[in-house]
Structure 1
Amino acid sequence: MELTINAAGDEQALTEFYSWLRDDVDVARSATISLAGSRDTGEMGAFEVICMSIGSLTGLANLGIAWGGFLRTREETPPFTITVEGELTAEQRAMLRNLDLPFS
């Protein structure tokens, strides 16, 4: 499953969540995580999205747990939107319904 996490221009929150995900052993073990740079501005170091590839339901659950932990460290919920690419299995759809993630 391919996910894209957008922070509606809040690069600091995006970078902090990226670091949070990379530091989470369970997430790092079950997903491939990268930052994608902004294509519009041409600025070096500007990040627009986090890209994730998750290969299991456990990996998706780990993302949900990491999201909850990250939110507990923030005063305000960042303006994140998570987009799922491609077709989902019935199990993946069921898991997504149970997670408190900002899916679009």
Structure 2
Amino acid sequence: MRVGLDFEESRDGQEVQDLYRWLRMDADLRRSAEIGLVSRPDAEAMGTLEIIELVIAQGIAALNLAVAYAAWRNTRPAAPQVTITYPGGSITVQDGSEETVRRIEAALRRAAAEDGESEDTGGGEDTGGGEAVQGAGEPADGSRAAATDDA
């Protein structure tokens, strides 16, 4: 499953590069996901020209990504919100709380289960906690999502 991480408010791309380096240094995430930088699907858009793309195939990768994001976010109190896109939807997160980790993991596990790539559909329930959930997000591969994540 392809997952994209995007900073819509970033003008110089520094946050993208910073989070990309952080994720690449996370040994657990590197073992369970492919991590790369790709051109934004909407190249004419203002702001950064790249997004972080991960390819994850197992449930543990969803948890590894959520924990790595939270660790990065907790060391940067002024970092902008991050939109995580996946097949069928997206989630925008603003902090690195335990609730955010649960929400990211649950959203990615649900998407993987619906995408047929994961038999492990465990994880917490997506119950709010300050982050905006946006349905019909654009997956990292640039295709338009047909379904929304309204849970």
Give the structure 2 partner of residue 2 of structure 1: 2
Give the structure 1 partner of residue 97 of structure 2: none
The amino acid that maps onto 2:5 is I
Question: Where do 1:29-48 residues align within 5 Å?
Answer: 29-38=31-40, 39-40=43-44, 47-48=49-50
Q: Please give the alpha-carbon distance, in whole angstroms, between the structure 2 residues aligned to 1:55 and 1:102.
A: 25
Post-superposition offset of 1:36: 1.1
Question: Scaled by the length of structure 1, what TM-score is found?
Answer: 0.76
The number of equivalent residue pairs is 98
The amino acid that maps onto 1:7 is F
Greater helix fraction, Structure 1 or Structure 2: 1
Cα deviations by residue, 1:33-56 (Å, 9 ceiling, x for unpaired)? 111124337xxxx63211111111
Question: Scaled by the length of structure 2, what TM-score is found?
Answer: 0.55
Q: What secondary structure sits across from 1:95 in the alignment? A: coil
Q: Please give the alpha-carbon distance, in whole angstroms, between the structure 2 residues aligned to 1:49 and 1:20.
A: 14
Post-superposition offset of 1:85: 1.9
Question: Where do 1:1-104 residues align within 5 Å?
Answer: 1-10=1-10, 11-38=13-40, 39-40=43-44, 47-85=49-87, 88-89=112-113, 91-92=120-121, 94-95=122-123, 97=125, 104=134
Post-superposition offset of 1:72: 1.4
Residue identity over aligned pairs, in percent, reads: 27
Q: Please give the alpha-carbon distance, in whole angstroms, between the structure 2 residues aligned to 1:103 and 1:3.
A: 15
Q: What secondary structure sits across from 1:89 in the alignment? A: helix
Contact 1:7 1:48 in 2 (8 A): no
Change (3 A) 1:48 1:78: same
Q: Which region of structure 1 is more displaced relative to structure 2, 25-34 or 5-14?
A: 5-14
Instruction: Kindly indicate whether structure 1 or structure 2 has the higher relative contact order, using CA contacts under 8 Å at least 6 residues apart.
Output: 1
